[in-house]
Amino acid sequence: MKDVKILGIGGTDASGKDTLGELMAERHGWLFISVTDLLRAEVTKRGMVLERPTLRSISAEWRRSKGPSVLVDKAMKEFEAVEKKYQGLVIASLRHPAEADRVHQLGGKVIWVDADPEVRYRRIVVRNRGSEDQVTFEEFLAEERSQMQHSGDEATLSLEGVKAKADVFLENNGDDIDAFKNEVNKALEDL
């Protein structure tokens, strides 16, 4: 990873994207920025209810008005203000192919993280982020299907588009965080 200073992480909900970002921050001195947290802050600022459809709506709105890679650009702006303190930048969660393209344009790599849907659903039930995670398993699967491909105009989510542009693929089906961290380290050696 000598030449890579930017990693973008895409993947399905509750697959371990933030865990991977936190690992890069802890073990490698990278700045971790969750673009979902940027969206959550905007929801709060607007006084809206924090739900996944609201997050998706704001992200599409921003893409339409500021360009399809706006979330990566916002993360880069934050990084540039403090980059001397860090070894690199890791951005999660890429949810649009233009975001993956932007990471590549900046000389970075894209990692795709996935896990079995039942494993991921159990994780969201355990983490319980309030109304954001209050869905049945069937709703969880339906929501994921709607995120996989553009369900409206080109500003809407397309996880399949991100996955198609990934450089590294990781499966995170276990509950052993240390095993996942070891798998991540091994995969990153090849970058």
Q: How confident is the model at residue 166 (pLDDT cuts 50, 70, 90)?
A: very high
Cis peptide before 93 (omega within 30 of 0): yes
Listed in sequence order, the residues at least 6 apart from 7 whose beta carbon sits closer than 8 Å to its beta carbon are: 24, 30, 88, 89, 90, 91, 103, 108, 109, 110, 111
Give the pLDDT score at 129. Answer: 66
Give first-to-last CA distance, the chain, whole Å.
5
* Distance (Å) of CA 115 to CA 3, 11, 13, 27, 173: 29, 9, 9, 23, 5
The answer on pLDDT for 132 being more than 60 is no
Mean residue pLDDT across the chain:
89
Mean pLDDT of 44-49: 94
Instruction: Give yes or no for a contact between 9 and 113, defined as CB atoms under 8 angstroms apart.
Output: yes
Give the pLDDT score at 164. Answer: 97
The pLDDT tens digits of the residues spanning 143-163 come to: 889 888 877 788 888 999 999
- C-alpha 160/C-alpha 100 separation (Å) is 11
Instruction: Give yes or no for a contact between 122 and 38, defined as CB atoms under 8 angstroms apart.
Output: no
Give the pLDDT score at 182. Answer: 82
Query: For the packed helices 52-66 and 35-46, what is the interaxial angle rounded to 10 degrees?
Result: 100
| Strand pairing report for 31-34 and 89-94 | parallel
- Looking at domain 6-167, its CATH architecture is 3-Layer(aba) Sandwich (3.40)
